[in-house]
Copies of this chain bind each other. A is one copy, B any other.
């Protein structure tokens, strides 16, 4: 989860227990957990026994691993849709430029229910945020009154969605 180089993985006395965490707090996943995730990326409701057969583990072991992955927040099993199908008529990606530290702005964006996706980036924007709204008024309100009003926000640029062409969640399956 961190852009930090993983190079310095020396003998850290602490990271013995648990599933070995890097200093960024990101759990280290072994090949079996990756295989389980891959199975669930194909079908989030696949039975544990079927997954177990595919990855070479018992049903109970798969169940425990899945539960742990969910608890740790490594993955979530959810229904995804095209928002346009579900009644949200306006979506946009908003590029944000920030003065000073990024985190307060990123946290404020994260707290907004209309914001589905927040990522800090390197490039001509500091933060990219995806906004899902019901109509133009709503979108305008979120961008102009709420996002641009945040302290530290220097400027924003919006990209209104015209058509969603692809949406996948299957890295690992390739």
A contacts, CB < 8 Å to B: 1-3, 5-9, 26-27, 29, 34, 37, 40-45, 74-88, 92-93, 95, 106-107, 109-110, 113, 115-125, 128, 132, 157-172, 174
Query: B residues within 8 A CB of A42?
Result: 1, 78
Bound CA span A118–B159, Å = 13
Main secondary structure of the interface of A (DSSP, over half): mixed
Bound CA span A76–B78, Å = 8
- Distance in Å from the Cβ of A152 to the closest Cβ of chain B? 15
Q: Is the CB of B79 within 8 A of A120?
A: no
- Distance in Å from the Cβ of A113 to the closest Cβ of chain B? 5
Query: B residues within 8 A CB of A125?
Result: 159
Q: Which of B109, B121, B163 contacts A119 (CB 8 A)?
A: B163
- Distance in Å from the Cβ of A4 to the closest Cβ of chain B? 8
Query: B residues within 8 A CB of A9?
Result: 85
